[in-house]
Amino acid sequence: MTLRTFITGINGQLGRTLASRFLPEQVAGGDLPEFDVCNPEQVYSALTAFAPQLVIHSAAWTNVDACAREPEKALWINGMGAQSVALACAKLDIPMVYISTNEVFDGAQPGPYREYDATHPINGYGYSKLAGEQYTQHLLKKFYIVRTSWLYADGGRNFIHRIQQLADERGELAVVTDEVGAPTWVEDLADAILQLAVTERYGIYHLVNDGHCSRYDFARFVLEHSGRAHIQLNETLLANFKRDSTVPPNGALANQCASALGIRLRPWQAALLAFMRADTH
């Protein structure tokens, strides 16, 4: 079953991938500069005009360091933007998928975070995305909150392309061992979201490629499978990098709830290999 769907942030890496799953008449969306999720009247008008059966709210300000520098702007876009979309969905009785992040957690827990573990963001981005989660939960009865992490896609700037670029330029790299997460291919994430969205099993879900690794192990895998195994890769720590945002050291997510419904994403290593074989970057 395919639901007639409106996607916010349709020009982003996830939005584009989601839209590609639909026939043209089954999908619509909006993105800056023509469409602003922080404009409630504009959001309501767009949804009224298209009359979707589902809204996927993937629009967000995802520059975590910029969010740390301008937390009020982050809250406006990621929190109040979600409020605008959720209010429109509530008025029109449309289920909503809200795309969230592993950064709603503080990263202090030793193992992967499950869906109903306590949230505690430690940076402006995580705080703003948690605000969006809370607006979604408070304003809607029919919602899916989907947390994910470390997204990558073809055609965009991502960790994989950056590691390859730096390896070629420098011939030696230092990557942190104390930041952990789940690399997630947007192709797999999009399929899982659309599987979930037709279940009517509303709630909070973690959708990431299975397993987790450190940034160091992620980089090593990329080098080994892109003909760069000879590049020297050195271990370092987050404390050695000065940046505006505070990184949750453990960003690993466990897919417990979607797995119970039979929705699972393949291991991160298999997804990354498939991406690298198909990558035209």
Catalytic residues: 125
d(CA 280, CA 123): 34
Query: 């599987």: which residue's tokens?
Result: 195
50 burial via Cβ count (<10 Å: 0-12, 13-18, 19+): middle
d(CA 27, CA 16): 11
Who contacts 171 (Cβ-Cβ below 8 Å, separation ≥6)? 231, 232
Who contacts 15 (Cβ-Cβ below 8 Å, separation ≥6)? 7, 8, 9, 29, 31, 56, 58, 59
* Residue 11 φ then ψ, to 5°: -95, 0
Q: Which strand (E) or helix (H) includes residue 101?
A: strand 96-101
Assign 3-class secondary structure to 195-223: HHHCCCCCEEEECCCECCEEHHHHHHHHH
Who contacts 27 (Cβ-Cβ below 8 Å, separation ≥6)? 4, 5, 6, 7, 18, 19
Residue 98's DSSP bridge partners are 57, 145
* Three-state DSSP class for residue 238: helix
Who contacts 268 (Cβ-Cβ below 8 Å, separation ≥6)? 182, 183, 184, 208, 209, 210, 211, 212, 213
